[in-house]
Structure 1
């Protein structure tokens, strides 16, 4: 029996056994052992959820609810309890002496316990304006927080695409390492055949050491980027955590700017409008009903010298005309603040409108540059392969070959760089206009 056939069959059986065992191990591995791929959208969402200031959103909502509840209590009956004990040096006397009639005079000591109840009937819209101002102020605080959280998107974009770029460069570095090792092995054979010398081998060894240094720098930089991303999203991003390269969105992007800063300006305008409504309400009269019940000496009859119950009820109207003195200036102040908010909004849009064309031009520049990258790499590869043949034939030095290898490496890295830069520029534009 042919022993070579038996050995071949044994190797095949061993391979089948190992493949089966690997499949069994893969089946038995727990689901949590699978590595989760992080996407850009997921990182941005996690960063927003992990941002410490997001807890202020709940604080703002609770504060608004409590303040509104307190404002509504103004419509409830206002009750107060009062007690009074007094002694006066003299009392009212009627200086008339009528024979047979005794005209009493009140006692100098007086005592009274009363319960006063006041019910607001109409306040000129003051409470409603106060509640409107509370809502407007809470809305402004929320929009400021939303804008602050939205700013995280740019930081996440920069870190995420920074990692992708370094990963692409590391991949190109792997190709360079293989290329240098392959030429190192060739030069060793050239030395054995007398075509090259040890100096040529040392030249390639130097390039290998340089490549190793570059790899250390890249790995250090990507490790730093991963740590920053881990802090931003509140989840560990290790070297084994893959990042999904986002697909290029369709161009052109939808027109129009929907940045959260625009909501801030709108909320500021609503707050100023509520302040103006409150200013007008303060100049209106207030109508309320009141009732007073109590027990005292004297009662409502001044000349009675014994304790008696008392009750008084009615309607009051109060109008503070002193607010009219400052109304005109306060109204002008609010009008100027409205103009200031409008100017800030126009300035913000102006700056964005000058920034957007530059970003659009940057995207187009990368797109056109990428069209020639593949052709440059193809030509560089041909030049490098021709240089290898020349070195083998002794018509080119190894140093010249290294230059061609480096040129090919630079072309590949440029292509990877342009692709990531093109993606990053598109997503930067998306962030600029909140598309």
Structure 2
């Protein structure tokens, strides 16, 4: 006997620990990790590095190779009688190699790199915002599965109770204590429970499959969904990714302002050109020659018709737009949190009432059970009281699940 009990305990332990389980937090992490949008974070970083490399080439020497051959209808001649200076050839040839080196451009390159870095942060945070919005969708699916899971257990309990009662009724009919055909009501109720099982399992399968596709992880009807322990902490600061997104957008504008401000700064270039051609730099020497020039060049856009100022004003307006969007987001989020705060309080009140109702229903069912055994009431009356208790217990499960869902949504809206 002891050996048999040990075997049973071993089988039970293996089944429990071998069962695949999943938590709400795991669903969050898997959805964010495996969603197609998640790939954009790395792609945006790669793209930004390429763009930054292109911008940085402004610091490197710029090398140009030019070659040309021309034929002119006329050339310069020296109007001196009996001069030995030959006229230039009408066909002329030149090949040059030029090197330009940026010495100073008012910090445009640095400002452009900083702007590119700020744009990357903004875009990556925007991806995070989109992914964060998946959480409420996951909440709805996860807690719907939890509700189906709990309802199935409750329905199982009701089925077991009716099966046991059916055995008692049949014994009572056999000994003439209960009216014949009283078991038909219980058998009909069992058939109805089978239908409820089918519907419940079908709905649960759809929910599990949908969640499985969303998080890109294989889930089955036997997967155990763990109940999360959720608490709401009111009056805490928002930590939503949208707030950082607004801040990054404002930083992007600041970097754009720096870039625009540096565009009108003086630019200093060094240059060198070497070449070979006919004629060379000496226009009086009608032969192929090598030549070179070196120098420095200063360029300064003194007046831009207030273009720079107008661009700065446009950016200032964008900054105000972002400020208004942030305030609107905080307002709407606060309204949503207040709504869920009242919802949580309402459901908690329902749960207290549910517990009281269930206590009373159990007393009524206990009395009905005794009356059925003594033949005072019919099986139909007993099933009615049992169904009333089941419905009230099911209401309790629904309210508990709704409470957990409301808390989960509250935490997601708050940014936790």
- Report the TM-score when normalising by structure 1: 0.88
Report if the CA contact (8 A) 2:75-2:89 is conserved: yes
Separation of aligned partners in 2, 1:34 and 1:190:
43
SS in 2 for 1:139: helix
Match of 2:108 in 1: 126
Match of 1:222 among 188, 196, 204: 204
Query: 1:400 Cα deviation (Å)?
Result: 2.4
Separation of aligned partners in 1, 2:304 and 2:240:
40
Q: Does 1:297 align with 2:281?
A: no
Match of 2:96 in 1: 114
Is the alpha carbon distance of 1:23 and 1:428 closer, same or farther for their aligned partners in structure 2, counting shifts above 3 Å? Answer: closer
Comparing 380-389 with 398-407, which one deviates more in the overlay?
398-407
RMSD: 2.5
Query: 1:231 Cα deviation (Å)?
Result: 1.0
Match of 1:66 among 50, 70, 73: 50
TM-superposition CA deviations, 1:362-385 (whole Å, max 9, x none): 222222332343332222111111
Report if the CA contact (8 A) 2:276-2:290 is conserved: yes
Match of 1:82 among 54, 61, 66: 66
Report if the CA contact (8 A) 1:130-1:278 is conserved: yes
Query: 1:69 Cα deviation (Å)?
Result: 1.0
Match of 2:22 among 21, 34, 38: 38
What runs of 5+ residues in structure 2 fail to find an aligned partner?
Answer: none
Match of 1:6 in 2: none
Q: 4+ residue stretches of structure 1 with deviation over 6 A? A: 20-27
Query: 1:391 Cα deviation (Å)?
Result: 2.8
1:152-171 aligned within 5 A? 152-171=134-153
Query: 1:262 Cα deviation (Å)?
Result: 1.7
What runs of 5+ residues in structure 1 fail to find an aligned partner?
Answer: 1-11
Query: 1:279 Cα deviation (Å)?
Result: 2.1
SS in 1 for 2:224: coil
Match of 1:426 in 2: 407
Report if the CA contact (8 A) 1:283-1:324 is conserved: no
Report if the CA contact (8 A) 1:48-1:149 is conserved: yes
Is the alpha carbon distance of 1:347 and 1:284 closer, same or farther for their aligned partners in structure 2, counting shifts above 3 Å? Answer: same
Match of 1:416 among 397, 401, 406: 397
Query: 1:118 Cα deviation (Å)?
Result: 0.3
1:256-405 aligned within 5 A? 256-320=237-301, 323-405=304-386
Match of 1:172 in 2: 154
SS in 2 for 1:257: coil
Match of 1:5 in 2: none
Comparing 301-310 with 33-42, which one deviates more in the overlay?
33-42
Query: 1:275 Cα deviation (Å)?
Result: 2.4
Report if the CA contact (8 A) 2:350-2:399 is conserved: yes
Q: Does 1:248 align with 2:227?
A: no
Q: Does 1:142 align with 2:133?
A: no
Query: 1:192 Cα deviation (Å)?
Result: 3.2
Report if the CA contact (8 A) 1:226-1:237 is conserved: yes
Is the alpha carbon distance of 1:26 and 1:349 closer, same or farther for their aligned partners in structure 2, counting shifts above 3 Å? Answer: closer
Report if the CA contact (8 A) 1:282-1:323 is conserved: no
Separation of aligned partners in 2, 1:148 and 1:427:
18
Separation of aligned partners in 2, 1:299 and 1:174:
102
